[in-house]
Amino acid sequence: MATDMTATDRMLPVPESEAAVADEVSKKNSPFLPSDAAVRLRDMADRTGLSFLCVDAGTGIVVESTDDESLSWLPMTVLQILEDVREPRVIECSSQLLYGLVPLAEIDGHRFVAVTTAFCKPGTRPDDLVLAAAEKGWSSDRLDQWMARQPHCSPLLLERLLIITSEQADSRSEASSLQADVTQLSNEIEQTYEEISLLHSLTQNLQISRGPVEVAQLCVSRMHGLIESAGNIIWLEDKQTGSHFLIEGDIPFDEIGLARLISRFDDYDWARPLVKNRVQGTLLGSDYPGLENFVIVPITGGSHRSGWILSCNLRDNREFGSVEGSLLNSVATILGTHVRNIDLYQQHEDLLISFVRSLVSTLDAKDPYTRGHSERVALISRRLGQHLNLPEEDLNDIYLSGMLHDVGKIGVDDRVLQKPGKLTDEEFEEIKEHPMIGYNILKGMKNLQKILPGVRHHHESVDGTGYPDKLAGDEIPLMARIMAVADAYDAMGSSRVYRKGMPLEKLEDIFRNGSGQQWDSRIIDAYFELRDEIRQICDTYAPDERNLLEGTRVTSRIP
């Protein structure tokens, strides 16, 4: 203890021109060391076995140390050159102390330098260090222990060690930066892939048979997995099924609230997405508690607007930007185009149905005694096809073909068509022309190509004795084989001016006897399985109701 006191008594303050003590300058302000620079500082210490100080070159403040037992003291000659350090260098002081300096980082105009110390030779006890230790309140023993831990080497060796260590640190930092860039790029590629996957999935589901609501539900569910927001909405107005409010996640308002929100931006140019961040603390935020930020895009197809898409409250306090807005805009464009295409297709279907009605009305006017026959054949044919598990699109084609199967009778002489008595052979040959006449009337219409087999071949027989082409067995299109049974049922069971309708028992005996010869046995079997339903179809049919004409509309195919 006496020795410590004697040493302390001999310690005098170091002149400011000679040294600077960290405790004196630490009162100044200095920025925090960046995390990557702190990691580099520790890495250098681990690899060299040296203790390092990190010093703010402009203020001389020691902002970090790799050794808790450090004097944190630098001579003024070192402090004065810190801002000029651009590469590793070694300063040798007169006190046999070596100071190794390595540039570390620069941020906000502040340069940070890593500083380490070493002795030129062992056993050295510089007076400067003794004075610095005394000012920090260290005992002589504590100073000796600290000095014993410090390395000794030549200036050249220390400089070479610092250069190699700095280069390694630069390489690792560059590799780490590259890895961060690769990770970021990978995340961006993954995000882009997910966006492309979403848009591709949507385009793959834009068949006319898929309704707007079904596609919109696919959109909102995929969006919720792609955009990390609390909630997503698609508000769709469908002409056929009305308004639909599809939600995934949590939304801080209801359908009426969304309508009010959109109405607040009546003057906005909806040619681009509406992006609003930092809503809380504003008048808008006071009206919509819980709403932090959002993106709104309109669903449009051409000049027609059919709804809205909204995503709100991006997670992790992030803000919406052009990336989210662009994605939602792409989804809205695809969905809007699909809605518009369905509207146009529906209009086209309506025109087609009007055309069919006109042809059927013309035939009814020419042969009023068979009024309703075509539609009953259409109804029966459709039910038989349904029983055979044909898809909805095929059922609609069968129905239209049934409606038009006798349209060729327009070209048959009225005297023959309406003759009350038995037809002559010549008159029957003229009647047999009606399938080909009907085929020739309709074959020029592109949209009716799929119904032509039924119109042309509904009088063929499976044994090859039918007309007009004497096809046999499976050569006869399935549509025509179905319609042949339906046509025969209604023709034999309906009353005409020249005869009464055939009793059902006799009609079914004819079916049994002609199964596999005149008619396809599979279709006859289907008839007998549906006989009660078919009889009810005919008993309840009312021509003025146009029963299934509405069933051929696209609305029946779209959920």
pLDDT in tens, 371-407: 688 889 999 999 999 999 999 889 989 999 998 999 8
The confidence score (pLDDT) of residue 261 equals: 93
- Quick check: helix, strand or coil at residue 282? coil
Mean per-residue pLDDT, 218-235: 84
Where do we find the tokens 């070192």? 78
- Cα separations in angstroms, 392 against 115, 238, 386, 532: 82, 21, 8, 22
- Threshold 0.85, pTM exceeds: no
Phi, psi (degrees; rounded to nearest 5) at 189: -65, -40
Name the pLDDT band for 103 (thresholds 50, 70, 90).
very high
- Quick check: helix, strand or coil at residue 295? strand
Which ranges in 245-372 belong to alpha helices (H)? 255-263, 283-287, 322-366
- Cα distance between the two ends of the chain: 96
Q: How far apart are CA 434 and CA 456, in angstroms?
A: 9
- Quick check: helix, strand or coil at residue 244? strand
Q: Per-residue pLDDT tens for 7-25?
A: 333 333 333 333 443 444 3
Name the pLDDT band for 93 (thresholds 50, 70, 90).
confident
Above pLDDT 70, what percent of the chain? 83
- Cα separations in angstroms, 8 against 124, 134, 148: 19, 6, 20
The CATH architecture to which 205-341 belongs is 2-Layer Sandwich (3.30)
Q: What is the H or E stretch that residue 317 is in?
A: none
Of 121, 128, 125, 129, the closest CA to residue 157 belongs to 121
Q: How far apart are CA 237 and CA 337, in angstroms?
A: 14
Name the pLDDT band for 204 (thresholds 50, 70, 90).
low
Question: DSSP characters for 55-104?
Answer: EETTT--EEEES-SS---EEEHHHHTTGGG--S-EEEE-TTSEEEEEEEE
Of 96, 93, 60, the closest CA to residue 79 belongs to 60
Domain ranges, ordered by start, for the chain: 2-174, 205-341, 367-556
Name the CATH superfamily housing domain 367-556. Hypothetical protein af1432 (1.10.3210.10)
Q: How far apart are CA 381 and CA 482, in angstroms?
A: 6
- Cα separations in angstroms, 442 against 14, 361, 402, 408, 468: 113, 16, 13, 9, 16
- Cα separations in angstroms, 437 against 404, 407, 410, 456, 552: 12, 8, 8, 9, 24
